[in-house]
Chains A and B, each alone.
Chain A
């Protein structure tokens, strides 16, 4: 790679700033946030002040500018420096909650929701999934009925990231009967009467990222909170899929890289049978395979990211990047725990967290099988 867009002086400086932020503002507190089951609002504010929340959002919407490459660098470096996939999902929930709203260009919605979110003053969630509809987005039933200048919303959503803390929830609702063209996007204030967080869900991993189950009972939402045209919700959500999947690919190879680094350090200093673990051929080969898995995943994901940044539409490739990185990640975090021995099973050991966090990556943002279906359709019709 001669003209490497990933290592320009500006991007090197961005990496350094992100690492500094992570080391000082995140790593010392992460264990506590895992126990608390959420990250504090002060973190959103600090990250906003450091300019981290707005990377890849246009300046007109309160963002920092920059491209998906810069966003990738922020995520990569946070993970390499000891943040976690859960932390990123909690702190960057706006990455799924507001892109449609920003893209719609609706100045009123941008002023009321995007700018204060990128400022660290508001927290937003995206609610697609329902108790009876996950992978099959077109099956959602939460209904919004227009009455004058407002919608009346009834339904339920579940597994919604950051929703127990959220100020607003970008909600995917049914406004018509057509499975796809009957879907719309509405911004719902969580303070609205009839909206409630029914439960805070307890999870296997992503512990510092709160997850909620939501109920909507006759919630009155101003029609001004409709994003885009009525009936365009499915397309708006689908347009964000490639970016979201590449984002999760970064989670995959990012925590894999971190788990690998920790494991190399551990096997260097840990002695068994009179010599450091890393001197054993079986261990060395394992570490090489882990490295190969990470390298291939990163290189492929970045190449797709570069092409998307250049304007190409690559849905199947983004899905492949996700599946590749997540398969690599499952392998790496599993071996990382194994090579840490008993201490790898302990809460106080960092790889234990990555092992648990990794499990969601092949389920959320489009399950592995759903990705494969999509890739198959692109390849074989």
Chain B
């Protein structure tokens, strides 16, 4: 089974994220870029499927030049090759246009399965997997906490608030994974050295047949009108234990939908 893993470079999860004043997009220059954490699980899952049943794993990344560091990481974990969709015309693309661009790029890579993380830590829209399925016509299997591949089929356990659903579809399919699914491996020294020699194809808009007016800031269906800094932290709520501390805590957690 040939698998494409969509991998995104995001600003370091722990760094303070900023929007740039000029065009109100995420400032990616000022902070260190890392692989979107959930995508590590996606890469791991693809590698496990490959190790169990063969096929090739291709990394697909849309992002600026420096996203190549993240591509290298996925290759050093064990992916076979990568496709980097990189074009200044893509800057500022929203979810809708990103899914269009990725869908076009996917057309250049023969595959049975596409695996993604359920969301990226910078935008947190969690819609790309569904949009990709819609655009490509592939089956949509989202929020997977377990994936099983059969002969031309994929079965997942789909994480829900109360448990899980079993969903099965024929390939081609798009699967998004939650972090419960596995423990991503660390890139080894050998893997890092091997990654240098793995094929990396770069695609421009033209290469992928992407219409430039349909992507980027101008092509996006949504735009950021204005933004303001996060309000300072509010003082916390103190629960005093007068014999009923436990139930008060439980009430609080329930009111926040945490339990």
Binding site for B on A (CB under 8 A): 9-10, 13-14, 16-17, 20-21, 49-52, 54-55, 59, 64-66, 70, 74
Nearest 10 interchain pairs by C-beta: A51-B188, A50-B186, A64-B189, A64-B190, A17-B187, A13-B192, A55-B189, A51-B189, A17-B186, A21-B186
Q: Provide the main secondary structure of the chain A interface.
A: helix
Structural contact, B187 and A59, CB atoms closer than 8 A: no
Q: For residue B196, which residue of chain A has the nearest CB?
A: A10
Which residues of chain A are near B73, meaning CB under 8 Å? 13, 16
Query: Is B193 an interface residue when CB atoms closer than 8 A count as contact?
Result: yes
Query: Shortest CB–CB separation between residue A365 and chain B, in angstroms?
Result: 24
| Interface status of B171 (Cβ within 8 A of chain A) | no
Q: A10-B193, A10-B196 are in contact. Are A64 and B188 (CB under 8 A)?
A: yes
Distance between Cα atoms of A140 and B103 in the complex (Å) = 71
A-B contact pairs, 27 of them (CB 8 A): A10-B192, A10-B193, A10-B196, A13-B69, A13-B72, A13-B195, A14-B189, A14-B192, A17-B76, A17-B186, A17-B187, A17-B188, A49-B186, A50-B185, A50-B188, A51-B186, A51-B191, A52-B189, A54-B189, A55-B189, A59-B190, A64-B188, A65-B189, A65-B193, A66-B189, A66-B193, A74-B189
Whole-angstrom distance between the Cβ of A51 and the nearest chain B Cβ: 3
User: Given that A49-B185, A50-B185 are known contacts, is A9 also in contact with B72, CB under 8 Å in the complex?
Assistant: yes
Query: Contacts of A59 on B, CB cut-off 8 Å?
Result: 190
Cβ contacts under 8 Å, A52 to chain B: 188-189
Which A residues lie within 8 Å of B188 (CB)? 17, 50-52, 64
Q: Are A13's CB and B187's CB within 8 A?
A: yes
Closest to A51 in B: B188
Within 8 A of A (CB), among B133-152: none
Rounded to whole Å, the gap between the CB of A64 and the closest CB of chain B is: 4
B residues with a Cβ closer than 8 A to A are: 69, 72-73, 76, 185-193, 195-196
A51 to B187, CA, bound (A): 8
Closest A residue to B34 by beta carbon equals A16
Cα–Cα, bound, A50→B183 (Å):
12
Q: Which of B72, B185, B186, B190 has the most CB of A within 10 A?
A: B186
A17 in contact with B193 given A9-B72, A49-B185, A50-B185 (CB within 8 Å):
no
Residues of chain B contacted by A9 (CB below 8 angstroms)? 69, 72
Q: With both chains docked as a complex, state the minimum distance between the C-beta of B160 and any C-beta of chain A, in angstroms.
A: 28
Q: What residues of B have a CB within 8 angstroms of the CB of A64 in the complex?
A: 188-190
Closest residue of chain A to B68 (Cβ to Cβ) is A9
Contact call A51/B190, Cβ cutoff below 8 A: yes
Q: Shortest beta-carbon distance, A68 to chain B, in Å?
A: 13
Instruction: Say how far A46's CB is from chain B's closest CB, in angstroms.
Output: 9
A15 to chain B, nearest CB (A): 10
A72 to chain B, nearest CB (A): 13
Give, as a whole number of angstroms, the nearest-CB distance from B76 to chain A. Answer: 6
Which of A17, A21, A49 meets B192, CB within 8 Å? A17
C-alpha gap A64/B76 in the complex (Å) = 13
Cα-based distance from A172 to B76 in the complex (angstroms): 40
Q: Which of A17, A64, A66, A74 has the most CB of B within 10 A?
A: A17
Instruction: Report Cα–Cα, A49/B186, bound state, in Å.
Output: 8
Query: Closest approach, in angstroms, between the C-beta of B51 and any C-beta of chain A?
Result: 13
Rounded to whole Å, the gap between the CB of A263 and the closest CB of chain B is 22
Q: How far is the CA of A17 from the CA of B40 in the complex (A)?
A: 13
In the assembled complex, the Cα of A65 lies from the Cα of B189 at a distance in Å of 8
Task: Report Cα–Cα, A74/B185, bound state, in Å.
Answer: 17
Q: How far is the CB of B118 from chain A (nearest CB, A)?
A: 21
User: Chain B: which residue is nearest A13 at the CB level?
Assistant: B192
Residues of B within 8 A of A51 (CB): 186-191
Chain A residues with CB below 8 A from B189, complex form: 14, 51-52, 54-55, 64-66, 70, 74
Tell me the complex Cα distance, A74–B187, Å.
13
B155 to chain A, nearest CB (A): 28
Please name the residue on chain B nearest to A65 by beta carbon. Answer: B190
Chain B nearest Cβ from A97, distance in angstroms: 20
- Minimal beta-carbon separation of A237 from chain B (angstroms): 27
How far apart sit A28 and B191, CA to CA, in the bound complex (Å)? 26
Nearest Cβ in chain B — how far from A59, in angstroms? Answer: 7
Question: How many Å lie between the Cα of A9 and that of B69 in the bound state?
Answer: 8
Residues of B within 8 A of A16 (CB): 73
Cα separation A74 to B195 with both chains bound (whole Å): 19
CA distance A55 to B190 in the complex (A): 8
Write out the residue numbers on chain B whose beta carbons fall within 8 Å of the beta carbon of A20. 186
Give every chain B residue within 8 A of A65 (Cβ-Cβ).
189-190, 193
In whole angstroms, how far apart are the Cα atoms of A14 and B196 in the complex? 13
State in angstroms the CA–CA spacing of A106 and B114 once bound together.
Answer: 47
8 new A-B contacts, CB < 8 A, other than A10-B196, A13-B187, are A17-B186, A17-B188, A20-B186, A51-B187, A64-B189, A65-B193, A66-B189, A66-B193
